[in-house]
Amino acid sequence: MGEINEIRVVRPDQFDLGTARHRALSAAPEVGVTSAMWGGIFEVKSGSRTEILHHGDQETITFLLFGACEIRWGPKGEFSALAKQGDFIHVPAHLAHMEINQSKVHPFRRLVLRSTPTPIVVNLPENVWP
């Protein structure tokens, strides 16, 4: 990686909304930010959930900006926790998980930081969990 000698501010109208469903890319090469990490805003609409997935060798740290998020994980999805506005979530590398928005009214929105410059998303088959 070359020397970085400037601070780059990426405004919401510059986010790359095409990176994946529910994601607004804000700190990545696609928007002119060269870094060893990835950053963005992730939103899950009311009454919906993510796929069952993992992030390969990538670790993820998130901060819940708005709403509440149920997160399930484990070989059979048998573990769960509820995160609410102001909470941090750490997702270790290779851990299968799913995020669920139980609200019928509000989305949940979180700041996402990943340990590599390009997000790794490995969607698993729906039948991987009972």
Given phi > 0 = left and psi -120 to 50 = alpha, else beta, which region is 47? left
Rg, the chain, Cα only: 15
Residue 32's domain comprises 13-123
Residue 47 in domain? yes
Residue 3 in domain? no
Residue 130 in domain? no
Q: What is the pLDDT of residue 109?
A: 92
The CATH code of the domain that includes 104 is 2.60.120.10
Q: What is the pLDDT of residue 10?
A: 59
For 126, the 3-state DSSP assignment is helix
Residue 1 in domain? no
Q: What is the pLDDT of residue 41?
A: 86
Residue 5 in domain? no
Q: What is the pLDDT of residue 6?
A: 54
The mean pLDDT values, 10 residues at a time, for the chain of 130 residues are 51 57 58 79 91 93 91 90 90 92 94 90 92
Q: Are 46 and 104 in contact (CB under 8 A)?
A: yes
Domain count, the chain: 1
Residue 64 in domain? yes
**pTM summary value:** 0.76
Residue 66, both tokens:
């708005």
How many whole angstroms separate alpha carbon 120 and alpha carbon 58? 7
Residue 96 in domain? yes
Q: What is the pLDDT of residue 31?
A: 67
